[in-house]
């Protein structure tokens, strides 16, 4: 299991500097985090969020052996040819350490501004993945779909990853989870999905993946995370996390699809046990620890990353 990190947002202490953001990523790398992930939203209002592809391209200069992933790009709102070329570039710049995570999106504001009808989302999504796979797997791909097509075309450079970068699908709803097993290389499990619902959805995903490929595919689980020996701080962080996910539901994730997040927050021994239990139950290939929720201080985030490396991540082998 590879343990990675994703920042909820780069705006810490109600301020933002990119230099501080880079220093946090470098600190995570020094403290045994094995991957860094970045998500995507548009028109995000008070929620400060850098666009993932230029961010990961810049961070590839510091990442070395650290994997870089998107969790997730809102693929049907984007031009798949642009995604293909940018993803290839980041894969080359990171020496083949790139993971392409994609999802449908759920915010009506983003759909309207993109000029995409909700009825077209799944079709565009599936065709985009097929086009990207075709361009990565074939020297001169020919692809014809309802929305996109390629004929006798090739990309240059080609990906460094062999045979190509993995494509993981982020999904909440049952149909989308099943789709991850049908067309993706893996499933990115949102942090709100847990309990009996998670067990059922993993069975759906693995059933679809086994039917298609004979294997289990990649399972990447996201969990809200903060480690501290200060119980008052831990309680405050839990409240910030609860507020964060309540705001996500207001933006479009329904209660039936977005369950209460199962968080990993506590002192080092508690966090070690919760991570170990997650691995025992689900055997994820990637555990993405979501940190830096709005309201946390820079000092608290730095200390949590440092404690993670010294007392939590050191207890697990990749």
136-187 pLDDT, tens digit each: 999 999 999 999 999 989 999 999 999 999 999 999 999 999 999 999 999 9
What residues contact residue 21 under an 8 Å CB cut-off, 6+ apart? 7, 10, 50
Contacts made by residues 184-187, CB under 8 angstroms, sequence distance 24+: 184/102, 184/129, 184/217, 185/217, 185/218, 186/217, 186/218, 186/219, 186/220, 186/285, 187/217, 187/218, 187/219, 187/220
pLDDT in tens, 27-41: 999 999 999 999 999
d(CA 30, CA 32): 6
Q: At what angle do helices 80-93 and 52-63 cross, to 10 degrees?
A: 10
Instruction: Give the Cα separation of 39 and 161 in Å (integer).
Output: 21
Strand 73-74 and strand 67-70: the pairing is unpaired
**Chain segment 184-212, per-residue pLDDT in tens:** 999 999 999 998 999 999 999 999 999 99
- Omega into 163 within 30° of 0, i.e. cis? yes
211: left (phi over 0), alpha (psi -120 to 50) or beta: alpha
* CA trace torsion 184, 67, 36, 122 (10° rounding): -10
Which SS3 state, helix, strand or coil, does residue 210 take? helix
274-283 pLDDT, tens digit per residue, is 999 999 999 9
Is 228 within 8 Å of 267 (Cβ atoms)?
yes
How far is residue 252's CA from residue 17's CA, in Å, rounded to a whole number?
29
Query: Residue 12's pLDDT is what?
Result: 61
Model pLDDT, residue 9: 74
pTM for this model (two decimals)? 0.96
Tell me, what's the pLDDT at 120?
Answer: 95
- Side-chain-side CA neighbours of residue 24 (13 Å): 27
- Domains of the chain from N-terminus onward: 2-315 (3.20.20.30)
Q: Would you call 197 helix, strand, or coil by DSSP?
A: helix
Helices (H), 157-265: 174-183, 195-213, 231-250
Integer Cα distance of 146 and 119 in angstroms: 14
**Mean pLDDT of the residues in the chain:** 93
41-78 pLDDT per residue, tens? 999 887 788 999 999 999 999 899 999 999 999 999 99
SS3 189: strand
Taking a C-beta distance cutoff of 8 angstroms, is the pair 277, 1 a contact? no
- Tokens for 198? 């998670």
Residue 10 confidence (pLDDT) above 80: no
Percentage of the chain lying above the pLDDT 70 cut: 94
């Amino acid at each position: 299991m590879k343990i990675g990190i994703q920042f909820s947002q780069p705006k810490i202490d109600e301020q933002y500097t990119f230099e501080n953001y880079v220093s946090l990523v470098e600190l995570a790398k020094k403290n045994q985090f094995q991957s860094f992930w970045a998500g995507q939203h548009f028109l995000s209002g008070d929620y400060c969020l850098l666009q993932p592809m230029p961010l990961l391209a810049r961070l590839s200069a510091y990442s070395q052996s650290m994997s870089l992933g998107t969790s997730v790009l809102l693929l049907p709102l984007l031009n798949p040819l642009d995604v293909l070329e940018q993803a290839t570039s980041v894969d080359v710049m990171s020496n083949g350490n790139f993971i392409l995570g994609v999802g449908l999106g759920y915010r009506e504001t983003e759909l309207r501004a993109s000029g995409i009808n909700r009825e077209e989302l799944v079709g565009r999504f599936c065709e985009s993945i097929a086009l990207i796979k075709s361009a990565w797997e074939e020297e001169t791909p020919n692809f014809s779909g309802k929305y996109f097509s390629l004929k006798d075309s090739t990309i240059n450079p080609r990906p460094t990853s062999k045979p190509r970068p993995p494509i993981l699908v982020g999904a909440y709803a049952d149909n989308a989870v099943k789709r991850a097993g049908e067309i993706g290389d893996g499933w990115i499990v949102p942090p709100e999905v847990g309990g009996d619902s998670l067990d059922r959805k993993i069975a759906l995903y693995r059933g679809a993946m086994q039917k298609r490929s004979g294997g289990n595919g990649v399972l990447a689980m996201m969990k809200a995370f903060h480690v501290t020996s200060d119980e008052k701080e831990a309680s405050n962080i839990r409240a910030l996390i609860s507020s964060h996910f309540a705001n996500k539901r207001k933006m479009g994730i329904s209660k039936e699809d977005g369950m209460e997040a199962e968080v990993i927050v506590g002192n080092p021994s508690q966090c070690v046990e919760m991570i170990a239990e997650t691995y025992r139950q689900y055997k994820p290939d990637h555990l993405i620890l979501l940190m830096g929720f709005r309201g946390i201080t820079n000092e608290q985030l730095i200390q949590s990353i440092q404690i993670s490396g010294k007392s939590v991540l050191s207890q697990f082998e990749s």
